[in-house]
Structure 1
Amino acid sequence: MTGDLGEVVKPYLKAGYSAVYYDPRAAGFEGLDDLATVDAADVDTITSEEPDMSDNLTPEDAARIKAEAERILASEEIADMHNWILHERIVTAWQMYHEEMWRELQRLGIGKEFAVVQQNRMWRENDLLEAGGMPPNEAQKIAEREHLMLAPDG
């Protein structure tokens, strides 16, 4: 998110998270940290557990992605929200515009699973941005750009 909005967004990250935490529409979200954990976190040192696609993924990364995709699709509430048309659009864009990444994902047998995970992360970030006061169309645009990689590099 700081890549799109800059460092100026950092003071608002915890507030946005708190808004989602208390939002009744987020009641079915799994894996949310409690607010004490969020409050204790140092925003400057938080690092993502998402694999860096600029390097080769390890078998451990692949196993984690498969498990996350299975959890997403096993959750009835989340699976019902998964947009399969968008899913195919993601896969097609990756095949066309991010060939090296797609080959790596295919090598590990997680191409479609990674699309499931990234779409879920996109919707979660979209909800956080909206809860923080961002207009829905802008929130979706930023969340898609951050997680779906639909456009060519460069």
Structure 2
Amino acid sequence: MTPQDSLDTIRATYDDLDAWHARGQKMPPEEPERGSALAADDTVFIWHRISETSRLSLLTAGEHLRLAKTSIEAGQVYPSAHFTVMRTALVCASQAVWILAADAAERQERGLTLIGEMYTQLAKYDEEQLKLPLSASEKTECRITSRGASCDSVR
């Protein structure tokens, strides 16, 4: 396979990539069909739906694939950075398939496992953010949004 053959193969996927992008931009976002297995999965933990977790994984994969497309078409492919973008697309798409391809009980367990890990990582991030000093404008915003409470009391 020549480099041009490889580029032609990649470019042949652009229409599908654009269609997925358009689908992901719909507002409000698509919902699982009533009575479907995925709709039933969403009742397991209504505060963070399994379908939305899967949807966001697919959207993130698409974003990274579009970044790769933009880079290719601009003639600006960075050897190590491009592989990082492609790896992220693969991981995100695989994550969605990992959840969605299982039977109902396994799909729910996998979805909740991923959601739990997301909350664990978010808690770590929040803990680190609390260690950072606030700027003057952030302190002002804190006072406004906390209805008069001091920033120290908010933290």
Q: Under a length normalisation based on structure 2, what TM-score does the superposition of the two structures give?
A: 0.29
Report 1 or 2 for greater relative contact order, CA contacts < 8 Å, sequence distance ≥ 6: 1
Q: Under a length normalisation based on structure 1, what TM-score does the superposition of the two structures give?
A: 0.29
Point out the structure with max Rg over C-alpha: 2
